Chain A
Amino acid sequence: MQPFGTLKGFGVTFKHIFKQPITQQYPEYKRPVYPRFRGRHRLHRHANGLEKCVGCSLCAAACPADCIRVVAAENTAEHRVSAGERYARIYEINLSRCIFCGYCELACPFDAITLGNEFELSEYSRDDLIYTKDMLLAEPIKRVPVQDPVLYDTPIPAYKRES
């Protein structure tokens, strides 16, 4: 019955006034990101403090947005930075171009680069969005809450399980 259906609609909207809104008030409440969320990149170190990155530029080659720039240099006995033969003298990611696809993470043979959890990446200047090696290696200033991985049954991908 058309008119009664319409009236029922009025009842539904009126009832909803008294419900608690489901809005998440963002700056105050930050919704936890998923465990496999792809946010800002992180560079990692070995347990002994040496950088995992060996400056092979495979990430730069894999990057579809061409936002990674790597300039490698040789490790020497007195100046040893990474575990390999070479290290990344310059490692820059232009986050204004990055599309957060995660191909760099896939391409990396040493798991030196991963996509982290930070997503609040706005800046007043484009220059500030070019992240240098120091910034990528450092612990993030803003910690983002991460949801419990147990809640999600997505399997850990093979390339992470086996390395």
Chain B
Amino acid sequence: MSALFLASGANGEPWWIALIKAFVVINLVLFGFAYLTLIERKVMGRMQVRYGPNRAGPFGTLQPIADLVKLIRKESFFPAQAVDVLYILSPFLAAFTALTTFSVIPWGPGWVIGGYQVNGYVADVPIALLLVFALGSIGVYGFIVGGWASNSKYSLLGSMRTCAQLVSYEVSLALSVLGVVVMAKSLSLVDVVAAQDAEVWYVIPQFVGFLVFIVAGTAETSRAPFDLPEAEQELVAGYHTEYGGMRFGLYSMSEYINLITLSGLAVTLFLGGWHGPWLPGIVWFLLKLAVLLFLFIWIRTTLPRLRYDQLMRFGWKVLLPVATLNAVVTALLVVAL
């Protein structure tokens, strides 16, 4: 406990400011999630020559709130055969890990407010990237255990697919980041951002890594075209078939927050983080985040779902070799130059 406070205290920031920031950031991320669902539906609608939600409030702006109220008021039903503790705990695990990951992403240069140092991140962990991947891997338990504990064949099939897909693509995701780590010579995201400000944005030298990161990230958040874990045509809804009400809402939330976190990670690792000319750091961070989120929505609207064998073949035979090659070549170049 003291080590965690010392880590932030080392930067001259009192521990309670980190606490306040954590609270604010969590709420902002939740707000972002709520309106991401609306924006996604709107943008997808326009791409499909329709309006999207436009009934609740002006231009449908109250739609997320209406959805939330609907989900909360629904009965928290419970399959008779389900393993109760795991069934109830799994959505919380998924949502917790999704929210926690955002804490290591830097979003500003840091300020001095009222004589107190306020850093532009919640926590600067020296092994931030490892922490992100570790939390992501723990979050997978939420999906898998939830599907298994439901005691339904559709849930189990869905969670097995999630498991297989996430295991296959996590390797490529981690390897695609390796190039950035080698170039920045640090696992801390704050250091990575600082290194990009000193050199160039890593999209340029690490373009292949960026592409692999985006593709593997799409698979990692199980969005189209890699949304096999929730292929409605073959499985009912995937691992959350037996979930309803706000428990389903938590799963849905964790998926969207994973997407936001992933976009934030991509911004931090490849697009120079919060650095940018003229505008303040936070604005740049949000702008880049918005562009990436739009990209993910765009991908979802455009591409059809892959077949399962295509998914596996693409993951292991294309993405993994490319990511490995990228990491090796980067390492060689960094050593040679």
**B-contacting residues of A (Cβ < 8 Å)?**
6, 9-10, 12-14, 16-17, 19, 21-23, 25
Inter-subunit contact A13/B50 (CB<8 Å): no
Given A9-B303, A10-B298, is A17 in contact with B51 using a C-beta cutoff of 8 Å?
Answer: no
B45 located at the interface, meaning its Cβ lies under 8 Å from any Cβ of chain A in the complex: yes
Residue ID in chain B nearest A19 by CB atoms? B49
Residues of B within 8 A of A21 (CB): 45-46, 49-51
Residues of B within 8 A of A23 (CB): 49-51
Task: Give CA–CA (A19, B49) in the complex, Å.
Answer: 7
Given A21-B51, A23-B51, is A16 in contact with B302 using a C-beta cutoff of 8 Å?
Answer: no
Number of residue pairs A-B, CB distance < 8 angstroms? 32
Residues of A within 8 A of B43 (CB): 17
Q: Chain B 25-67 against A: per-residue CB contact (8 Å), 1 yes, 0 no?
A: 0000000000000000001011111110000000000000000
Residues of B within 8 A of A25 (CB): 51
- Taking A9-B303, A14-B47, A23-B51 as known contacts, 16 extra A-B pairs with beta carbons closer than 8 A to each other, sorted by chain A number, are A6-B303, A9-B302, A10-B302, A12-B302, A13-B47, A13-B301, A14-B298, A16-B48, A17-B43, A17-B47, A21-B45, A21-B50, A22-B50, A23-B49, A23-B50, A25-B51
Task: Give CA–CA (A12, B301) in the complex, Å.
Answer: 10
Residues of B within 8 A of A14 (CB): 47, 298
A118 to chain B, nearest CB (A): 24
Task: Give CA–CA (A93, B114) in the complex, Å.
Answer: 78
Inter-subunit contact B302/A13 (CB<8 Å): yes
Q: Which of A6, A12, A21 has the most chain B CB within a 10 Å cutoff? A: A21
* Residues of chain B in range 253-304 having any CB-CB distance to chain A below 8 Å: 298, 301-303
A149 to chain B, nearest CB (A): 30
Task: Give CA–CA (A10, B225) in the complex, Å.
Answer: 13
Residues of B within 8 A of A19 (CB): 49
Task: Give CA–CA (A23, B53) in the complex, Å.
Answer: 12
